[in-house]
Amino acid sequence: MTIDESEFFREATLRICGSLEIEIAMQRCLQYLSRYLPATNIALHIYDHELGIVETIAMATIDSCRAMSLRTPISARGRRQVDEQRSSRTKLMERSGDDAVAGPVVRQLGIADLPGLLLDLALEGKFVGTLSVFSEPDISFNRHHVGLLSQLNEPFAIALTNSLRYRELQTLRDTLADDNRYLQDELRTISGGEVIGAEFGLKRVMEMVRQVAPLKSPVLLIGETGVGKEVIANAIHNLSLRSNGPFIRVNCGAIPPTLMDSELFGHEKGAFTGALFQKRGRFERADGGTIFLDEIGELPLEAQVRLLRVLQEKEIERVGGTETLQVDIRVIAATHRNLDQMLAEGRFREDIYFRLRVFPIAIPPLRRRPEDIPVLAQHFIQKKSREMKKLKIPSLAPGALDRLMQYSWPGNVRELENAVERELIVSKGALLSFDDLDAKLQTTVAGKPERGGEPAWEPLELDTVMSRHISQVLSRCHGRVEGENGAARLLNIHPSTLRKRMKKMGIPFGRQGDAGDSGGGKNNHRF
């Protein structure tokens, strides 16, 4: 049969390179080759010279195909044969199972009795793998078949190389996805998967978090420095439908104005001096997840203009780029500043303000939720003790909880955390007394500004005043509710009535209120 070799090469190559799934490409090629060769099976192999292992990565017949990773060790004789036959590149086998190299492989494939043809594949003079073709029993290949198949050396070599790289990319992608899940879990652990005070002082805040978390609406967190805005932002993300996506934090006040665009939106290679490679910005990295814009009030007006486009259109452009990129993100912003005042002064854009303030959540300072102080203190004692590798978690000294409750904590939860860490350092394993708070308490009282000779005050809700007073009395009574020295006697109220009010106001009691117990001793609160 006369064969147009140019047409044969073109048609076979189209089939070899017709799919990224190498096994599918091999089956299509085999169906074409079977018109000119007595071929019924085809397989691709790679060889690890150091280990002496042949790995079969794909196999196909006329009717089926499959990818695989069949690893077959070969003998010392087979290794020598591999080195010797590099010069010929082709080999005919009357019975494949008798060959020192092919024999162990075909026996595993169940085709040891078939005649075969081996073609070593080379690209730019470098060996990349082997193609094996098998025929029906008693129907051998000849030199004409070898000549035809040798024309396809380069297309098969390219297809094999691409397949190996594609497989490597898939492995890296799966590894990256697994690492990302692990790091997200670690981030939740570090930032706190649990919101301390969620059932007490932050109960109202957490109710709002649960309302807005499943939605896509922007959220604006308002509160003083150190109240835990990032913890609340994490809680919104973790309770949302995007919890498996990235959570990207941006401190708008920590990025220099000259780098703001590059950090937020990324840049193309060569966009400016020093841009040696393409860089993805924070918004692009947050695609499919949540971006937390902390200290949004520090964002320059120029950057606010570009942020508006992201909020409106969900589109960004890298610096120096012309391509518009779509991003699917949920924006959570936070600030300790008075944005209304900044709006009036022209330092914050009105259109940005109203798009961010779809669902504002005000986080109360620690001085307005004193019922959280005992449980927060115990949480930080345990956390910092673990970080310092302490064998035993220390307990609070008598009177320490009083000092913690009476102090106003202008630095909020962050200041409390730092105070606990400092006390753990100076205590040297003794009880935690927080004696240094006495001086701060005196300075705070003496330094309060006055108006008309009266001490300065802040308006509080009646429930807040009652909650604070009950917590302080409980602290002085060491957690005792009833009895001669109990809080109910001092407050002149029936113990059951006091417990009902405590429950209503979210004041911890019983095991919930045992902030001084390190976990191994008896309960310090007696009821």
Full 3-state SS string of 476-520: HCCCCCCCCCCHHHHHCCCHHHHHHHHHHHCCCCCCCCCCCCCCC
Residue 511 domain-assigned (yes or no): no
CB distance 350 to 312 below 8 Å: no
CB distance 381 to 417 below 8 Å: no
φ and ψ of 48, to 5 deg: -95, 105
Are residues 210 and 350 both part of a single domain? yes
Token pair 């090469």 in the structure block, residue:
9
Distances (CA, A) of 465 to 140, 367, 369, 397: 97, 11, 10, 27
Are residues 332 and 412 both part of a single domain? no
Residue 218 domain-assigned (yes or no): yes
Which helix (H) or strand (E) segment is 164 a member of? helix 153-191
Residue 121 domain-assigned (yes or no): yes
Residue type, 328: D
Residue 175 domain-assigned (yes or no): no
Out of 306, 334, 364, a domain closes at 364
Out of 309, 329, 364, a domain closes at 364
Residue 522 domain-assigned (yes or no): no
Residue 305 domain-assigned (yes or no): yes
Are residues 348 and 246 both part of a single domain? yes
Cβ neighbors of 43 (< 8 A, separation 6 or more) are 26, 56, 58, 59, 60, 109, 131, 132, 134
Are residues 156 and 111 both part of a single domain? yes
Number of domains in the chain: 3
Are residues 357 and 374 both part of a single domain? no
Q: What is the pLDDT of residues 301-319, one digit of tens each?
A: 888 888 888 888 889 888 8
CA distance 474 to 497: 14
Are residues 328 and 376 both part of a single domain? no
What b/e string do you get for 96-117 counting C-beta neighbours within 10 Å, with b at 16 or more?
Answer: bbebebbbbbbeebebbebbbb
Are residues 139 and 255 both part of a single domain? no
CB distance 371 to 508 below 8 Å: yes
The CATH number given to whatever domain includes residue 407 is 1.10.8.60
Task: Collapse the DSSP code of 6 into the 3-class scheme (helix H, G, I; strand E, B; otherwise coil) and give the result.
Answer: helix
Which stretches of 181-239 are assigned E, i.e. beta strand? 219-222
CB distance 448 to 440 below 8 Å: no
For residue 333, give both structure tokens. 């912003």
Given a cut of 80, whether residue 80 has pLDDT beyond it is: yes
CA distance 145 to 131: 14
CB distance 27 to 48 below 8 Å: no
The CATH number given to whatever domain includes residue 231 is 3.40.50.300
Q: Of the given ranges (118-127, 352-361, 509-518), which has the lowest mean pLDDT?
A: 509-518
Q: What is the pLDDT of residues 260-304, one digit of tens each?
A: 888 999 998 888 888 888 888 999 999 999 999 999 999 888 888
For residue 408, give both structure tokens. 């106003």
Average pLDDT over the chain, rounded to an integer: 84
Are residues 353 and 404 both part of a single domain? no
Are residues 302 and 404 both part of a single domain? no
The CATH number given to whatever domain includes residue 110 is 3.30.450.40
Token pair 């595993």 in the structure block, residue:
108
φ and ψ of 294, to 5 deg: -80, 145
Residue 526: its pLDDT value, please? 36
Residue 496: its pLDDT value, please? 85
Q: What is the pLDDT of residues 87-101, one digit of tens each?
A: 557 889 999 989 888
Range of the domain at 37: 5-166
φ and ψ of 102, to 5 deg: -75, -30
Residue 74 domain-assigned (yes or no): yes
Are residues 224 and 290 both part of a single domain? yes
Are residues 36 and 159 both part of a single domain? yes
Are residues 61 and 131 both part of a single domain? yes
Residue 527 domain-assigned (yes or no): no
Q: What is the pLDDT of residues 363-375, one digit of tens each?
A: 999 999 988 999 8
CB distance 295 to 336 below 8 Å: yes
Q: What is the pLDDT of residues 155-174, one digit of tens each?
A: 999 999 998 888 888 888 87
Given a cut of 50, whether residue 445 has pLDDT beyond it is: no
Residue type, 282: R
Token pair 């913890």 in the structure block, residue:
231
